[in-house]
Amino acid sequence: MASVSEMYDVTWEEMRDKLRKWREDNHRNSEQIVDVGEELINEHASKLGDDIWIIYEQVMIAALDCSRDDLAWTCLQELKRQFPGSQRVKRLAGMRLEALEKYEDASKQYDSILQDDPTNTAARKRKISILKAQGKSAEAIRELNEYLEQFVGDQEAWHELSELYINEHDYGKAAFCLEELMMTNPHNHLYCEQYAEVKYTQGGLENLELSRKYFAQALKLNNRNMRALFGLYMSASHIAASPKVNATVKKSNVKYAAWATNQINRAYQLAGRGTKENKCSVKAVEEMLESMQITMS
Amino acid sequence: MDEPELLLDSNIRLWVVLPIVFITFLVGVIRHYVSILLQSDKKLTLEQVSDSQVLIRSRILRENGKYIPKQSFLMRKFYFNNQEDGFFKKTKRKVVPPSPMTDPSMLTDMMKGNVTNVLPMILIGGWINWTFSGFVTTKVPFPLTLRFKPMLQQGIELLSLDASWVSSASWYFLNVFGLRSMYSLILGQDNGADQSRIMQEQMSGAAMAMPADTNKAFKAEWEALELTDHQWALEGVEEELMSRELDLDGMFSKELPTGIF
């Protein structure tokens, strides 16, 4: 089997830099990390110097994702040898137990970390993920709420909580979590769009208006967010089709929907540029939009 | 009257100026490593972490509250500032002012700070003064008044000597401050040999964060939040958006990234 460096013709420095980039961007491309990282560890361990420890950690987590227990075990052993008694390494040991589905042992491991250091957020979050893995979503939600009462600033946790609430169809609370995220990251168009989708799902005239506004905001932040564009179209047309609105509101919403339609058409034209498959998609989109118009007016 | 230039023995340059530079530098490096060894772990309590995050959240609410709907903003403001059971009204933290006498960890920290920084400086300054005394070491490039003479010309008993000519002790002190930038180059930022930074910290630390602050910080946040109004940033967002066509340039590029590199 060809090694990564042979296949792509890269040096070990480039591989190391790629791993660092993935680490900083928090990518979860575990298979690639395992491929690149394993080769780095096996062939070039001496050249890496002190970088090797963080690469061990990165590769270990990726190996757990890919069910490569052997690789995970080696990485863990090396880390245990170098950093005995470290809480970060204990957490990794707990994660390995989780991967082997030994949830009781993993839970005990995290409890011992928390005894030493009650402010350790990583251990708490792992305990919550154990609950999630076991399918106990109600308990997971409760624990996560308690966690967030202590650590209000943890954005990862807010996002996780919003996802759990969406799974439970509790859209009001999910919207609350997403509001927290929108406040702390006002320029992130994805949070705006997700919030708008939750509001749209909740339904009701007020929520539809809010969702239309937030779809527009997401588009303003990122002109290329197609999902927000479609969302804008759908929320505007829904409001216009609703019997409870007065004439001016209906007119402005029809205007919004028409604008959105134009933009969608433009996008599909740009994507198409004459290739055969895209001609069919362009036609399909046009038909879809026309049918929506008909049901509306 | 033109001052006659003094010609110094070149031995002075070789055996005094350079050794003092080396000594200062090495002592600084040793100080840095000693301070790392003696550093005590600062453990934060759960409550402190939690409080600092709550304060951050409240500040974010004030600054970015305009991005969430009015109802949500009011809900959060009510949670924080409500008269009876708003968070800032209700929560009182136990306040233990950490005076150096009562708080043992503060005492040891102060002692360590003194030992690693002030003591070596005094000792080595004195030793250099005793060893390299009785002669002029160097000349500062700018003219000084006579007032500086007793300070800078420690071992030299010449009344007529220009105050710009200084002794080795003053060269030593010059080095201590001058080598600061060298330390940041070699030891990285935040190094323990950085004398003036530590002195700055000592001065500002006395004026700043002590736990009594938590209650005061809460009160300040409460006031600030009371004053904040909700100006919804999304009032005219559709009009702004639709005033021009969407910028879809480069959205569909022909090349897709394949593989890892």
Which tokens sit at B67? 């991005």
Q: Which among A38, A45, A96 has a CA at the least distance from the CA of A69?
A: A96
Tell me what the pLDDT averaged over chain B comes to: 76
At A32 the pLDDT is: 92
Q: Which among A139, A195, A192, A187 has a CA at the least distance from the CA of A162?
A: A195
Which tokens sit at B204? 């500002």
Q: Which of B44, B69, B248 sits opposite A119 (nearest CB)?
A: B44
Sign of CA dihedral B151, B156, B158, B162: negative
Average confidence (pLDDT) over A15-44: 92
At A61 the pLDDT is: 95
At A134 the pLDDT is: 94
CB-based contact, A206 to chain B, within 8 Å: no
Q: If you average pLDDT over each of A261-265, A276-280, A286-290, B161-165, which comes out highest?
A: A261-265
Half-sphere exposure in the Cβ direction for A297 (13 Å, CA): 13
Cβ separation of B50 and A151 shorter than 8 Å?
A: yes
At B204 the pLDDT is: 47
Among B48, B54, B72, B238, the residue to mutate for chain A (most A Cβ within 10 A): B238
Number of A to B CB contacts under 8 A, please give it: 92
> Using 50, 70 and 90 to split pLDDT, how confident is the model at B209?
very low
Cβ separation of B260 and A186 shorter than 8 Å?
A: no
Using CA atoms, how far apart are residues B28 and A279, in angstroms rounded to an integer? 73
Q: If you average pLDDT over each of A155-159, B206-210, B250-254, which comes out highest?
A: A155-159
Q: Which residues of B touch A217 (CB under 8 A)?
A: 67, 234, 237
Using CA atoms, how far apart are residues B127 and A149, in angstroms rounded to an integer? 58
Question: Quick one: DSSP state of residue B68?
Answer: S
> Using 50, 70 and 90 to split pLDDT, how confident is the model at A176?
very high
Which tokens sit at A11? 């040096």
Burial of B182 (0-12, 13-18, 19+ CB in 10 A): middle
Residue type at position B240: E
Sign of CA dihedral A114, A117, A118, A119: negative
> Using 50, 70 and 90 to split pLDDT, how confident is the model at A201?
very high
Cβ separation of A153 and B251 shorter than 8 Å?
A: no
Residue of A nearest to B258 (CA): A8
Which tokens sit at B128? 């250099």
> Quick count: other Cβ atoms within 10 Å of Cβ A156?
11
Residues A75 and A97: beta-carbon distance below 8 Å: no
Which tokens sit at A25? 């961007």
ipTM of the complex: 0.83
> Using 50, 70 and 90 to split pLDDT, how confident is the model at B205?
very low
pLDDT of residue A266 exceeding 50: yes
Residues A255 and A224: beta-carbon distance below 8 Å: no
> Using 50, 70 and 90 to split pLDDT, how confident is the model at B208?
very low
At B44 the pLDDT is: 73
Using CA atoms, how far apart are residues A38 and A55, in angstroms rounded to an integer? 10
Q: How far apart are the first and last CA of chain B?
A: 74
Average confidence (pLDDT) over A7-25: 90
Average confidence (pLDDT) over A125-136: 94
Average confidence (pLDDT) over A86-104: 94
Residues B87 and B221: beta-carbon distance below 8 Å: no
Give the pairing type, strands B138-139 and B165-166: antiparallel
Identify the residue whose tokens are 């080598």: B179
Q: Which of A18, A153, A176 sits opposite B56 (nearest CB)?
A: A153
How many angstroms separate the CA of residue B244 from the nearest CA in chain A?
10
A171-184 and B46-64 helices cross at what angle (nearest 10)?
80
Beta strands in chain B (DSSP E): 138-139, 165-166
At a CB cut-off of 8 Å and minimum separation 6, what does A76 contact? A60, A89, A92, A93, A96
pLDDT of residue B188 exceeding 80: no
Cβ separation of B234 and A214 shorter than 8 Å?
A: yes
- Between B115 and A129, whose confidence is greater? A129
Average confidence (pLDDT) over A34-47: 91
Which tokens sit at A134? 């076991």
At A18 the pLDDT is: 92
- Between A114 and B114, whose confidence is greater? A114
Q: Among the listed ranges A103-112, B58-67, B78-87, B218-227, which one has the minimum average pLDDT value?
A: B78-87
At B4 the pLDDT is: 56
pLDDT of residue A278 exceeding 90: no
Using CA atoms, how far apart are residues B155 and A212, in angstroms rounded to an integer? 83
pLDDT of residue A88 exceeding 90: yes
Sign of CA dihedral B190, A48, A45, A31: positive
At a CB cut-off of 8 Å and minimum separation 6, what does B156 contact? B134, B135, B136, B165, B167
Helix, strand or coil, per DSSP, at residue A105: helix
Q: Which of B49, B234, B248 sits opposite A270 (nearest CB)?
A: B248
Q: For B165, phi and psi rounded to 5 degrees?
A: -85, 125
Using CA atoms, how far apart are residues A268 and A277, in angstroms rounded to an integer? 12
Residues A235 and A200: beta-carbon distance below 8 Å: yes
Q: Which of B49, B238, B246 sits opposite A263 (nearest CB)?
A: B246
Q: Which among A64, A25, A20 has a CA at the least distance from the CA of A40?
A: A20
> Quick count: other Cβ atoms within 10 Å of Cβ A282?
16
Q: Which residues of B touch A266 (CB under 8 A)?
A: 245-246, 248
Chain centroid offset of residue A107 CA: 25
CB-based contact, A65 to chain B, within 8 Å: no
Cβ separation of A267 and B45 shorter than 8 Å?
A: no
CB-based contact, A150 to chain B, within 8 Å: yes
How many angstroms separate the CA of residue A290 from the nearest CA in chain B?
21
Residues A198 and A191: beta-carbon distance below 8 Å: no
Cβ separation of B60 and A184 shorter than 8 Å?
A: yes
At B193 the pLDDT is: 56
Q: Which of B72, B240, B260 sits opposite A4 (nearest CB)?
A: B260
Cβ separation of A118 and B68 shorter than 8 Å?
A: no
Average confidence (pLDDT) over A244-261: 90
Cβ separation of A184 and B248 shorter than 8 Å?
A: no
Which tokens sit at B130? 């005793």
> Quick count: other Cβ atoms within 10 Å of Cβ A40?
23
pLDDT of residue B198 exceeding 70: no
pTM recorded for the entire structure: 0.76
What is the percent of chain B with per-residue pLDDT over 90, rounded to a whole number? 8
Q: Which residues of A touch B44 (CB under 8 A)?
A: 119
At B100 the pLDDT is: 47
Q: For B139, phi and psi rounded to 5 degrees?
A: -125, 130
Chain centroid offset of residue B17 CA: 31
Which tokens sit at A229? 């564009």
Question: Quick one: DSSP state of residue B259?
Answer: S
- Between A94 and A283, whose confidence is greater? A94
Q: Which residues of B touch A152 (CB under 8 A)?
A: 50, 53-54, 56-57
Residues A226-248 have pLDDT tens digits of 999 999 999 999 999 888 888 89
At B111 the pLDDT is: 72
Under an 8 Å CB criterion, which residues of B touch A? Answer: 44-46, 49-50, 53-54, 56-57, 60-61, 64-65, 67-69, 72, 234, 237-238, 240-242, 245-248, 251-252, 259-261
Average confidence (pLDDT) over B26-54: 79
Q: Which of A36, A151, A223 sits opposite B248 (nearest CB)?
A: A223
In order of A95, A154, A169, A202, B255, the CA distances from A141 in angstroms are 20, 15, 13, 20, 42
